[in-house]
Structures are given as C-alpha cells and as structure tokens.
Amino acid sequence: MSLTFSLNDGTEIPWLGFGTGTALYNKDSTEAVKAAIQTGITHLDGAQLYRNEESLGQGIKDSGVPRGKLYVTTKLEETPSAPTIKATLEISLKKLGLDYVDLFLIHSPFVATKEGKLKSWWKEMEEIKKEGLAKSIGVSNFTVEHLQIILEDATVVPAVNQIELHPYIWDTGSKIYDFCKEKGIVIESYGGLSPIVRAPGGTLDPVLANAAERLAKESGTAVSSGQVLSKWLIQKGVVVVTTSSKVSRIKEALSTASLPDLSADEISAIETEGLKVHKRFFMKHVFNE
C-alpha cells in the first residue's frame, strides 16, 4: 500500500521516509539506502548536517530506481557553510547527483533566531522554490513561536515541519501539531519509536502491547509495538521518518499502513499514558530543555 499525504503546495509526500541521520550520521549510507529503496522505500530523508549526502546520492544511483519515482529531502545545516542558502543547496545537489530535491528544510531555527535571520532565511527558501531547485520547502524543529515569526511575512507557507514526535512529548508536541494542522502544514515525525527504543519500560508499554495484540488478531499477522506507534502517527496524518539497516524491519515498517486502524479508545489511551511522562531525546537546545 503506497500511502501519501497531500502537501499545501499540491504535491504528495510518501508517508514513510528512510532517514540517513542518527544511525548513519557521518557514515557511508550507500548500502543502507540502496537496500531501503529495493525493499520498497521511495522517500529518502537526508541533511547537510548528516555529512553523508554523497553516499545517499550513490545509494539512489545504485538502486536503479528512476529519479522520478523517488522523493528526496535534504536540510540546511544550523550554520550554513556558504554565503547564501541557495549556494548550500547547490553544493548538496552536486553531492547528491541530483538536479532538484523534492523537499528542502531549514533543519533548525536556533542559529537563525539568535541572529535575527529567521525571516530572511525563509525569503531565501521561497526563492529556491521559485527557481525549482526544491519542489517543496519547509522547516524542522520549529516551535509555534518560530512558525509565527516566518508566517508574518511568508508568501509561501511551509509545506512541512519535521519534529521529534511521539507520545512522550505529546504535552508540548500536540501544541505544535494543532497549530500546524490549522495552518495546513504537514508534520513529519522523527524519533517516533523512542518510547520503545530509548525509554522502554514506561507507562506506554502495556497500552502498545494490548493494541498490538488486537491488531494481530484482526489482521492475522504479527504486529509490533513499533507498528502501533507508527499507526498512531499515520492516523494523525503525520509522516513517519525512521531508519533501519535490517530489511525485515523496513518491510515491517512498510506494512504498517495496511494494518487495521487503531480505535478511538486506543488512540486516547496512547495519548493519556504518553502525557504522564516527558522525554525529549533530540534538539533539546531548540526547546530550552
């Protein structure tokens, strides 16, 4: 099942993205990217900060899948390494071996906010979209306040805001989620499996286990707690960015979209239990944590 979400600029984004950060940071991602694409992933999520754009491009090339069938993202590093944002993207495109990216994001508002450049950065992003170097533009790790600043003068509303999102930061995450929904900005989640990968043994575990058991019974196939978390995100209309070097895990992730839906009670239980704990694992400096 190839599920996509519609962005506010008329393009579509595949619901599942393969991230080349965290586990692949500063590492050669060629084989991992190639394996992901050959397993059925079409959405690749890279960044200048990950220091592996060349190998992401090589993995795309080696996969043998035509460029037009893939959705490629890269992100502007916190402190741009070229005089203009466009120049940084041109360097990225060269490394990736591509003429354009489908999505270009400001990776973090931290430096731009400190230097009072958030609005001017966004103006440069709008130019990049106009020139076709990126089909869509968006942001990452932006709070409601950061979004409000750029929206004051924006002629293009960000297509997405990619943030760490899982039930253990639903207390603050839900505010960003609600604001973005109101403005037609799609949320992309990274670190979505953190409650089971980085904080096992928490209040959420039994709720996820019960939901997994019911879905397994209903679908006649094994269902993991990770799939329940991803299903929760899908039903919220959130794009899931994840990574794995195991083909079996990628297949499991891809099959999540076709599982039966979580019930309203299950969604409510996930959020209720999530709200009892606050655990952020990434970009804490942006959120003053």
Q: Are 186 and 252 in contact, with CB atoms under 8 Å apart?
A: no
Q: pLDDT value at position 26?
A: 79
Q: Residue 99 burial (CB < 10 Å; 0-12/13-18/19+)? A: exposed
Q: Which CATH superfamily is 11-164 part of?
A: NADP-dependent oxidoreductase domain (3.20.20.100)
Q: Is 100 a catalytic residue?
A: no
pLDDT of amino acid 25: 77
107 labeled part of a ligand binding site: yes
pLDDT of res. 1:
46
8 A C-beta contact, residue 161 and residue 151? no
Q: Give a three-class secondary structure readout of 156-208.
A: CCCCEEEEECCHHHHHHHHHHHHHHHHHCCEEEEECCCHHHHCCCCCCCHHHH
User: Per-domain residue ranges for the chain?
Assistant: 11-164
Its sign, for the CA torsion 24, 26, 27, 30, is positive
Tell me the pLDDT of the chain (289 aa) as tens digits. 479 999 999 999 999 999 998 787 778 899 999 999 999 999 999 999 999 999 999 999 999 999 999 999 999 999 999 999 999 999 999 999 999 999 999 999 999 999 999 999 999 999 999 999 999 999 999 999 999 999 999 999 999 999 999 999 999 999 999 999 999 999 999 999 999 999 999 999 999 999 999 999 999 999 999 999 999 999 999 999 999 888 999 999 999 999 999 999 999 999 999 999 999 999 999 999 9
Q: What is the pLDDT of residues 105-129, one digit of tens each?
A: 999 999 999 999 999 999 999 999 9
If one counts every other C-beta atom within 10 angstroms of the C-beta of residue 45, the result is 27
Nearest-angstrom CA–CA distance, 158 and 138: 4
Contact 42, 69 (CB under 8 A): yes
Instruction: Give CA–CA dist 19/264, Å, rounded.
Output: 29
What is the DSSP secondary-structure string of 227-275? Answer: HHHHHHHHHTT-EEEE--S-HHHHHHHHHGGGSPPPPHHHHHHHHHHHT
The answer to whether the predicted template modeling score (pTM) of the entire model surpasses 0.95 is yes
Choose, from 25, 50, 177, 190, the residue flagged as catalytic. 50
Bridge-partner residues for 99, per DSSP?
Answer: none
Q: 1: closest CA among 230, 243, 254? A: 254
- Is residue 46 within 8 Å of 72, Cβ to Cβ? yes
